[in-house]
């Protein structure tokens, strides 16, 4: 199985791969480089979502996509919270190349208010949470509608997380599935 590299210009998305920076819940980079990959099936659905967003004058900004199994262990070891992270023994849809963490941005690149930031591990991040301002609720529903229309399933605890239906039918993949590793070299 091959993974498709998602490139900003070619796929008409913005990339801000959070786990390649310290701007994530661990406070440090997990990836050695900011790669963005998806399984062919997921890449096709992403293209559909991009088209739907563009028709509304919006763009998609991606925080994470394929996450090597090794990275899932790093995240789990930092915070073993099954409400927001898949147990790596069971496998994450990210580690199958069929999940993406994203948001919507306007034409100037400003993120739409979603009520919380990416990776805010709080009940405020749940889909349908009405404790966030009404404009943020509307933006979440817009994102949910776009992604659903493009053929994506959602995870109820994270407004930013979308995955393919039947994600478990795809095999778990590690860093060795890539031509160039994303994970830091072991010393």
Give the residue numbers annotated as catalytic, written as ranges.
Answer: 158
Range 150-158 contact pairs with CB under 8 angstroms and sequence separation of 24 or more: 150/45, 150/46, 150/48, 150/49, 150/52, 151/45, 151/48, 152/45, 152/49, 154/127, 156/126, 156/127, 156/128, 157/83, 157/84, 157/125, 157/126, 157/127, 158/84, 158/101, 158/125, 158/126, 158/127
* C-alpha angle 21-159-105 in degrees, rounded to nearest 5: 65
Sign of CA dihedral 48, 138, 101, 72: negative
């Amino acid at each position: 199985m091959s993974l498709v590299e998602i490139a900003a210009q070619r796929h008409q998305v913005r990339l801000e791969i959070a786990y390649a920076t310290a701007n994530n819940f661990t406070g440090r980079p997990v990836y050695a480089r900011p790669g963005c990959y998806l399984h062919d099936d997921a890449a096709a659905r992403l293209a559909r979502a991009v088209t739907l967003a563009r028709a509304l004058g919006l763009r998609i900004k991606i925080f994470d996509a394929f996450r090597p199994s090794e990275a899932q262990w790093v995240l789990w070891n930092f915070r073993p919270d099954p409400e927001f992270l898949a147990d790596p023994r069971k496998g994450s849809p990210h580690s199958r190349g069929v999940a993406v963490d994203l948001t919507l941005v306007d034409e100037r690149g400003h993120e739409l208010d979603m009520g919380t930031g990416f990776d805010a591990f709080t009940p405020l991040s749940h889909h349908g949470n009405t404790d966030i301002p009404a404009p943020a609720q509307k933006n979440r529903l817009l994102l949910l509608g776009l992604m659903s229309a493009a053929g994506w399933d959602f995870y109820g605890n994270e407004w930013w997380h979308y995955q393919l239906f039947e994600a478990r039918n795809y095999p778990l993949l590690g860093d060795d599935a890539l031509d160039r590793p994303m994970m830091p070299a072991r010393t």
